[in-house]
């Protein structure tokens, strides 16, 4: 005759769902916690201001060229047990993602 051993309640990683706290266990569970760590490059601006000696020859007081990038990339953990596959963590209510924008410009002063 085989003896059936009941599993110990502490041998599982799945929390029991109950509204009654019979054992007075006030411990919180981290079962549904998700690794939400991420690295995001939100805004980057590169610019070059031309030297006064060069721009005064063409009759300008100032000249600047620039490139502005917004929402360039997002790095998040997508491997292992704590993988996060959700959308951008900074977007509330899982709305549409923020688009990547690139702006090029000239700032000319006469």
What's the CA gap between 51 and 64, in Å, rounded? 10
pLDDT of residue 106: 96
pLDDT, average across residues 3-25: 62
Whether the CB-CB separation of 108 and 67 falls below 8 Å is answered with no
Number of H helices, E strands in the chain: 1, 3
pLDDT, average across residues 14-26: 66
What's the CA gap between 74 and 38, in Å, rounded? 7
Residue 2, pLDDT > 60, answer no
What is the per-residue pLDDT across 47-81, written as a single tens digit (0 to 9) for each? 999 999 999 999 999 999 999 999 898 887 777 76
pLDDT of residue 103: 97
What's the CA gap between 65 and 48, in Å, rounded? 5
What's the CA gap between 98 and 92, in Å, rounded? 11
pLDDT of residue 16: 62
């Amino acid at each position: 005759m085989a003896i059936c051993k009941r599993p110990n309640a502490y041998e599982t990683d799945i929390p029991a769902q109950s509204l009654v706290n019979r054992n007075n266990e006030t411990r919180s569970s981290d079962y549904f916690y998700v690794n939400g760590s991420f690295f995001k490059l939100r805004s980057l601006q590169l610019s070059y201001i031309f030297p006064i000696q060069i721009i005064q020859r063409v009759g300008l007081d100032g000249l600047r060229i620039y490139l502005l990038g917004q929402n360039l990339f997002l790095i998040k953990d997508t491997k292992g047990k704590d993988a996060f596959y959700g959308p951008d963590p900074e977007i509330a209510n899982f709305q549409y993602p923020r688009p990547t924008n690139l702006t090029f410009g000239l700032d000319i002063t006469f």
